[in-house]
Amino acid sequence: MNVLYEDSGSFKVATVLTEGESSVQVEAPHGKRSKIKTKDVLLRFTEPGAAELLAQAEAMAGGVDESFLWECCGTEEFGFAELAREYCGRAPSAVEAAGILVKLHSVPVYFYRKGRGRYRAAPADTLRAALAGIEKRKQQQTQIATWVEQLANGVFPDEFKAQRDRLLYQPDGNRPETKAIDEACARTGLSIAKLFERSGVLPPSHEHHLNRFLHAHFPKGVDFPSVEVESAGGLPLAEVSAFSLDDATTKNANTVVSRACTARKVPRGIALRPLGLA
């Protein structure tokens, strides 16, 4: 006796060695022995052999139309063996029953898994929406493949021209255009900038680096409103020229002053006195 059983979401076959009330000792086609729970057994069969069943079942499932199965199964929950009997019009063979099981399991858009060997057809509205989404993704993948081919051959797609700067400096990984660029870079071994340069659309060096800086640090643009500088209030001006080079972690003026004092090894008061601030 052989069994078809489910293990961690996949189907396996084995030959029964011994059987108890709640478990079965089995031997897999490659020789490994294990104990499985009786409740995990989906099908018992004698022919074909354990090693041949899944291969034949997958071949049979390949010829089954999931749309036809969906129309036949109704709206209530059902077991795969019940549907196999309905599909064949008679008691199904082990290969036919396993083939229907494999088919149901392979198209989760059409059939929701409700338990071991049990399924339920997806509602019509949900199925239509899911199939539309799948078709949209297929068309998108076709478009991406076309763009990748163009970019790999040094041609910048017309659809990219209006959004060149955004693709170059602020790429969105969820957009198909960015996915196409990433795939083209992986295929050619070029960086995005080099890929754009080979396509003849990379800005001149100064403009390119300036644009990268502005997009990174001024994403809202540089059109700032005019600001009137208020009077210093009569504070004395020191006869020194001072400047600060702050890194990205600088948080306020106190941090700058403290770093300057540390660098020059002078107390904070002495450092501020020439500025009239001590």
pLDDT per residue of the chain (278 residues) written in tens, 0 to 9? 999 998 888 899 999 999 888 899 999 888 889 899 998 899 999 988 888 999 999 999 999 999 999 998 888 999 999 999 999 999 999 999 999 999 999 999 999 999 889 999 999 999 999 999 999 999 999 999 999 999 999 999 999 999 999 999 999 999 999 999 999 999 999 999 999 999 999 999 999 999 999 888 888 888 888 877 676 667 777 777 777 776 667 666 555 556 555 555 545 444 444 444 44
Give the 3-state secondary structure of residue 82.
helix
pLDDT for residue 200: 93
In 40-196, DSSP assigns E strands to 41-45, 78-79, 111-115, 118-121
Q: Is 228 helix (H, G, I), strand (E, B) or coil?
A: coil
Say how many C-beta atoms besides its own lie within 10 A of residue 243's C-beta.
4
Beta-carbon contacts of residue 174 (< 8 Å; ≥ 6 apart):
none
Contact 162, 201 (CB under 8 A): no
Report pLDDT for 238.
Answer: 73
Has domain 2-121 been given CATH number 3.30.930.10? no
Q: Any idea which residue has 């450092």 for tokens?
A: 271
pLDDT at 259: 59
Q: Phi-psi category of 234—alpha, beta or left, where left has phi over 0 and alpha has psi -120 to 50?
A: left
**Can you say how many angstroms the Cα of residue 61 is from the centroid of all Cα atoms in its chain?**
28
Report yes or no: 198 and 154 within 8 Å, Cβ to Cβ.
Answer: yes
Q: Where in the chain is the domain with CATH 2.30.30.360?
A: 2-121
Q: What is the pLDDT of residue 276?
A: 45
Other beta carbons within 10 Å of 98: 27
pLDDT score of 9: 81
The pTM for the full model equals 0.65
